[in-house]
Structures are given as C-alpha cells and as structure tokens.
Structure 1
Amino acid sequence: MGIDLPLIWAVIIIFGIMMYVVMDGFDLGIGILFPFVKGERDRDVMMNTVAPVWDGNETWLVLGGAALFGAFPLAYAVVLSALYLPLMLMLMGLIFRGVAFEFRFKAKADKRHLWDKAFIGGSLAATFFQGVALGAFIEGFKVVERNYAGGSLDWLTPFSLFCGVGLIVAYALLGCTWLIMKTEGPLQSKMHDLARPLAFVLLAVTGVVSIWTPLAHPDIATRWFSLPNLFWFLPVPILVLVTLYGLVRAVARHAHYTPFLLTLVLIFLGYSGLGISLWPNIIPPSISIWDAAAPPQSQGFMLVGTLFIIPFILGYTFWSYYVFRGKVTHDDGYH
C-alpha cells in the first residue's frame, strides 16, 4: 500500500492553520480588547505580553499558504480567486497591525493614541476578514472545468459577515484569557470581568453557526444528523458545553492558567466541527483533497523539505515562549 501524500499534506496544512489561529489569535485579540482598557501603562503591558513572539506567530500563516500552493494548486487557484478581496483586506489589516505595534512604542506621548487606534483597527480588520473568508469557504465555491466560475463578490453574504463577527468574539476571548495568564493586579481583574460575558457571547455565536450551517447545506446536515454519525459526532457539542462550564468556573475562582487552556480547547472543538462538516473536501462543496492534489512527484519532493523544517519552527517557537514565560509587569519594557 502506497503513501497517501494528499492526506499527509492535508494534515500538515490543517496543523499549520490551527497553530496560526491559536497563536496569532490572542495577538489579534489583544488589539480587539484595547478599547476596553484605557490606561496607558496597562496597554503597554498588554502589548508587552506578545512583543517577543507576535511576529514569529505568523510563520504558520506563511507555511499554510505555501503548502496549499505547492500541494493543492487547484485549491489555491480557486480559493484565492474567490476570496481575493477579503484576503487582501486581511493582509492589509495584519500589516497595519504590525506597523502600529512597532511605531506605537517609538511615537511621542501625544501621538501614541493615533497608533493605538491603528492597532485596534488593524486587529479588527484582520480578524473580521479572516472570519468572512472562513464563512465563504464553508458556503462553497462554484467551479466549472477546474476554474472558479463565481463572481468577485460572491463571498459577501450574511453568513460570511456573521462568521467575521463571530471570529472577533473568539479572538477577543482568546486574548482575554491570555492576558489573565500573563498579567496580574487590576489589569488581570479587568480581564476576569470580561471573560465571562465573552464566553457566553461566543457560545451564542457558535450555536447560531451550528444551526445556520446545516439548515443552509443539506449535505452537512446529513453528515451530522444521519445515523450512526450522530452518535459519533455528538461528543463535540457536549464537550463544548462542558468546556464552557469549566471556563466560567475557572474565571469565577480567578484562576490564572486554566481559562486560557480551556479556551484553546474551545477553539480546537470548533475547528474539529468545521473538519467534520467539510472533510475531505478542500474546495467545498465537492472537490476533495485527492481531486485537487498536485502530482505525487511534486508532493513527495516538497514533503522532504517540509518535514525537515517543521521541527525547527516548532523548536524556536517553543524556545521563545519558554524564555519569555511568566507574568509581565509594568516594569517590563519593549525595545
């Protein structure tokens, strides 16, 4: 039996995107939470919690995009053609967020508020258009003879816009619980106060998406609710409720690390639900990873280099988080 290269590449891409969502998620979440924190020194602490790692976190976005281009060129061509505008706006938001991050610390005191607003705007834009792209991906693309046959604004639907708002809530909760883990004192207390309502809003958003998706897509409804699939997949929504309950309890007792870990579990469960709904289609609704795969020779050649470099990425990522572990205080600075 030969090696299933498309499956291996699908796992690599899924892993890379998941790592990006988790790591850049709390970075963007901090920008989303900026309007809720008015103190200049507290905002400095918020940014200093991610200052050593934020740009390295985006490595996973580059890896995912490059892997998609090399391993599944048909998917890359269709998805980029269909989502050109929201993905460009997302990248502009990421660039603006990065520039604002660097310039904020170098700006004069009377100009810093301008970079604060830019940091908020860039974070919101990047997150919103990531969610919009995700929503459009779930809805699927019109493909005729292996070419995208839809319009340039087909991504602009109520469902995709709702997914954009939903991802803002998810990243806000991720950033909030990250700050609970990395800060102390009044700022940490403020984040404890925000975490509970954010968790309930995220539950509501997840519920709406979970109902809206199968109603709009009969094939996804069949995937989830036909027997015996229903019994296999039922643990996912149950675990979401159990995890949310544990998160609320952890916030109530002012835990430091548990809220962030449980939020990661929520993100993973949401990601798992997406996978259950769409697998094995890499171009919804009907083109699978095997249909969109590059020639085996190309996938095999790239796999050698990828399996060599991923351990290095994991290594320096782990090391950077290990070196900058612990709480961040007002005395810590960014240079």
Structure 2
Amino acid sequence: MGIDLPLLWAIIIGFGLMMYVIMDGFDLGIGILFPFVSTREDRDTMVNTVAPVWDGNETWLAFGGAALLAVFPLAYSVILSALYLPLILMLAGLIWRGVAFEFRFKADEAHRPFWDKAFAWGSYIATVSQGVALGAFINGFEVRERAYAGGLFDWLTPFSLFAGVGLLVSYALLGTTWLVMKTEGALQQRMRKLGQPITIALLVAIAIVSIWTPYAHAEVAGRWFSLPNLLFFAPVPVLVLLATCALLKTLGGDSHAAPFVLALLLLFLGYTGLAISLWPNIIPPSVSIWDAAAPPQSMGFTLVGALFIIPFILAYTAWSYYVFRGKVRAGEGYH
C-alpha cells in the first residue's frame, strides 16, 4: 500500500497554517490592543514581548504559500485569483506594521505617535484581510475548466466580513493572554480585565459562525450532521464552553500561562470545526485534495525537502522562545 501523498501534504500544510495562526496571532493581537493602551512605557513593554520572535513567526505563512504552489497548484491558482485583493491588503498590512515596528523605536517624540498608529492599523488591516479571506474560502469558489470563474469582488460578502471581525477578536484574545503571561503589574492586570469581555465576544462570534455556516451551506450541514462526522464534531461545542469557562476563571485569578494555553485551545477547536466542515475539499465546495494535487513525482520530491526543513524550523523556533522566556519589565527587557 503506497503513501497517500495528497493526504500527507494536506496535513503538513494544515499544520503550517495552524502554527502561523498561533504564532503570528498573538503578535498581531498586540497591535490590535495598541488603541486600548495609552502610555508609551506600556506600549514599549508590549512590543518588547515579541521583539525577538515576531519576524520568525511569519515563516509559517511563507511555508504554507510555497507548499500550496508546489503540491496543490490548482488550488494555488484558483484561491489566489479569487482572493487577490484581500491577500494584497494582508501583505500590505504586514509590511506596514513591520516597518512601523522598527521605526517606532527610532522615532523622536514628535513622530512616535504616527508610527504607533501605523503599527496598530497595519495589524488591523492584516487581520481583517485574513479573516475575510477565510470567510470567502468557506463560502467557496466558482471553478470552470480548472480555473477561477468568479468575479473580482465575489469574496466580499456579509459572512466574509463577519469572519474578518471574528478573527480580529480571536487575535485580540491571543494578544491579551500572551501579555498576561509575559508582563506583570498594572499592565498585566489591565490585560486580565480586557481579556474577559474579549473572551465572551469570541464565544458569541463562534456561536454565530457555527449557526450561519451550516445554514448558508447545505454541503457543510451534511458533513456536520452525518455519521461518522457527527461523532467527531459533537464534543467540540462542549469543549468550547468548558474552555471558555476555564479561561474566564483563570483571567480572574492569578494564573499566568493558563489563559494563553486555553486561548490556544479555543482556536484549535475552531480550527478542527473548520477542517470537518470542508474536508476533503481544498477548493470548496467541490474540488478535493486529490483532484488538485500535483503529479506524485513532484509531491514526493518536495516532501523530502519539507521533512528535512520542518524540524529545523521547529528547532530554531523552540530555541528562540526558550532563550527569551520569562517576564518582560518596563525599561529592562527579559529577566
């Protein structure tokens, strides 16, 4: 029995995208939280918590895009053609916030507020663009003769816009819980208080999406409520409620790492729900991973490279987070 290369690559790309959501999510979340923190000292502390790792977090985004091109070229051509505008906005936001990240430390007092706003706006634009693209992906694409046949603005729907807002809330929660773990004193307490309404807002967003998605897409409803998928999906809503209650409790207590871990659990549960909803299609609503796959020789060749490079990415990522572990104090950095 041979290796199912499309399935293996779908798992690898899915893992890479999940790593990006986790690692760049709290990074973008810090920019999203900037308007809620007014003092320069607190803003500097917030940025310092991610300064050593923020650029490495986007490695997984580049990996996912390159892997999609190499192994699922049909999906790459259709998805990028359909989502050209939101993806361009996402890249512009990431570039803008990256420039602002560096310049805000070097700017004088007169120009510092401009770069703070640029950092925040870049984070908002990149996050909402990602959420809109995700919502449009769930809605599906019109494909004829192995090419995108839809319009330039087909991605712009009420559902995709709501998905953009939902991802904004998700990243804000990752940002608050990251800062609870990495800071102390008044800033940490502010993040604890801010994290509670954000958690409730995320629960509401998850509930709305969970109702809206099967209502708008009969094929998704069929996957959710048919066996054996129902057996896999049934525990997810219960786990979401339990994780939310635990997160609210830890935010109101004195735990440091637990809120961040629980926020990651909430995002992972949402990710599994998305996987169940779309599986096995990589171009919703009807093009599967096997239909969009490259020739086996290409997939096998690139798999060798991926299995070689992924351990190195994981190793240097783990090492960088280990080196810069601990709390960040205002004006002092790590300790």
Partner of 1:57 in structure 2? 57
Distance across 2 between alignment mates of 1:17 and 1:89: 19
Distance across 1 between alignment mates of 2:147 and 2:113: 46
Q: What amino acid does structure 1 have at the position aligned with 2:47?
A: M
Distance across 2 between alignment mates of 1:306 and 1:2: 19
Q: What amino acid does structure 1 have at the position aligned with 2:203?
A: L
Secondary structure, aligned partner of 2:329:
coil
Task: Answer yes or no: is 1:259 the counterpart of 2:250.
Answer: no
Give the superposition deviation at 1:333. Answer: 4.9
Question: Are 2:90 and 2:130, in contact at CA under 8 Å, matched by a contact in 1?
Answer: yes
Structure 2: stretches of 5+ with no match in the other structure: none
Distance across 1 between alignment mates of 2:332 and 2:150: 51
Q: Which runs of 4+ in 1 moved over 6 A?
A: none
1:98-117 paired onto structure 2 within 5 Å: 98-117=98-117
Partner of 1:196 in structure 2? 196
1:146-198 deviation line (CA, Å, top 9, x unaligned): 01000010000000000001100000000000000000000000000001100
Distance across 1 between alignment mates of 2:329 and 2:304: 43
Secondary structure, aligned partner of 2:282:
strand
Q: What amino acid does structure 1 have at the position aligned with 2:179?
A: L
Distance across 2 between alignment mates of 1:145 and 1:237: 39
Q: What amino acid does structure 1 have at the position aligned with 2:275?
A: G
Secondary structure, aligned partner of 1:248:
helix
Cα RMSD (Å): 1.0
1:1-335 paired onto structure 2 within 5 Å: 1-333=1-333
Q: What amino acid does structure 1 have at the position aligned with 2:200?
A: F
Q: What amino acid does structure 2 have at the position aligned with 1:282?
A: I
How high is the TM-score relative to the length of structure 1?
A: 0.98
Give the superposition deviation at 1:222. Answer: 1.3
Structure 1: stretches of 5+ with no match in the other structure: none
1:250-308 deviation line (CA, Å, top 9, x unaligned): 11113111000000000100000000000110000000000000000001011111110
Question: Are 1:48 and 1:332, in contact at CA under 8 Å, matched by a contact in 2?
Answer: no
1:86-112 deviation line (CA, Å, top 9, x unaligned): 000000000001000000000001210
How high is the TM-score relative to the length of structure 2?
A: 0.98
Distance across 2 between alignment mates of 1:303 and 1:231: 32
Aligned residues: 334
Question: Are 1:131 and 1:167, in contact at CA under 8 Å, matched by a contact in 2?
Answer: yes
Give the superposition deviation at 1:223. Answer: 1.1
Distance across 2 between alignment mates of 1:261 and 1:241: 15
Determine what percentage of the aligned residue pairs are the same residue.
70
Secondary structure, aligned partner of 1:153:
coil
Give the superposition deviation at 1:233. Answer: 1.3
Question: Are 2:5 and 2:299, in contact at CA under 8 Å, matched by a contact in 1?
Answer: yes
